Amino acid sequence: MSARWLVFVLLLAAAPALLADAAPRSIVSINTCLDPILLELVSKERIAALSRHSKDPLRSAIADIAKELPTTRESAEEIVLLKPDLVLASRHTAALTRNALQRVGVQLELFEIPRSVDASLAQVQRLAELVHEPERGRALVERIKQAIEHARPAVGTRGLSAVIYQPSGMSAGKGTITDELMRIAGLSNVATQAKLTGYRVLPLESLLGAAPDIVLLGDTLPGSNTRAEKMVHHRALRALQPYSSFGTFPARYMNCAGPVMIAALDTLVAARERSLANFSGIHHTTSEHGVAGR
């Protein structure tokens, strides 16, 4: 056997291993919460498609960027035609799709829904390893950790109560990343005080009775008039306006974690600072009136 032929045979035998070790060049995400992580880790040229909700501004934190990329309706037939070498999905992805992709030999990686900040950071690093971008993964984790440290209130900052109230009255209770982010920002969560766990409906009466310092309402589409969306515009909430600071907390910040936590924390911190400024202004005005009245 000639030396040239021997080299060819050895390369042929090694090909499967070499392919397995190669960075994926055609990646499909079929989960809205994996979309933003993927976009942080790889160039757009390596993304064959994003999830079907990636362009929905109410559900997706990367809707503007997603307009430039293909999306998939998440059917196995459509995904196979894209010839991906890696598909990212949730364990809640339809079993029919998962089984079909695995039968044809597509590399399918399933992710759990993270229930804590630490679990989300671990998920970021795992995805980074899968796309062969560990350094970018570590850099993204570090950015999120810096945002967390920046969001913590200074020692001695006045404690504030807050509630996030989405269409249909949905809120984030104990055991959610949203609740953890609120605590990081120094906010006492009304939904947790009301014994809610997970993402559940918070009765309007509980919200009104708590009279929180901060009320963050979910966003709605202009002109929307569904029963669910009317909840965030309920006239009963006007009773809180004299002493509660109102703001917006988009549902897309509750739906996903990963890099989305940075924007969520920025929103919570801005609401905290706004409420503290309002309280300071009211306190200052009250003091001036007190002096004038003496």
Report the distance separating Cα 179 and Cα 132, nearest Å. Answer: 32
Backbone angles phi, psi at 260, to 5 degrees: -65, -25
pLDDT at 21: 66
Nearest Cα to Cα of residue 72 among 93, 50, 92: 50
How is the chain split into domains, by residue range? 24-148, 157-286
How far, in Å, are 54, 58, 60, 67, 264 from residue 64 at the CA level? 9, 11, 9, 6, 17
Per-residue pLDDT of the chain (294 residues; tens, 9 = 90+): 444 434 333 343 344 444 456 899 999 999 999 999 999 999 999 999 999 999 999 999 999 999 999 999 889 999 999 999 999 999 989 999 999 999 999 999 999 999 999 999 999 999 999 999 999 999 999 999 999 999 999 999 999 999 999 999 999 999 999 999 999 999 999 999 999 999 999 999 999 999 999 999 998 876 667 777 778 889 999 999 888 999 999 999 999 999 999 999 999 999 999 999 987 665 444 444 444 443
Report the distance separating Cα 139 and Cα 2, nearest Å. Answer: 48
**Is 157-286 the same fold as 24-148?**
yes
What CATH class has 157-286? alpha beta
Report the distance separating Cα 112 and Cα 110, nearest Å. Answer: 7
pLDDT at 5: 38
Six-digit token string for 255: 């739906």
Report the distance separating Cα 42 and Cα 56, nearest Å. Answer: 21
Q: Model pTM?
A: 0.86
Report the distance separating Cα 145 and Cα 89, nearest Å. Answer: 25
What CATH class has 24-148? alpha beta
Nearest Cα to Cα of residue 24 among 40, 49, 47, 44: 47
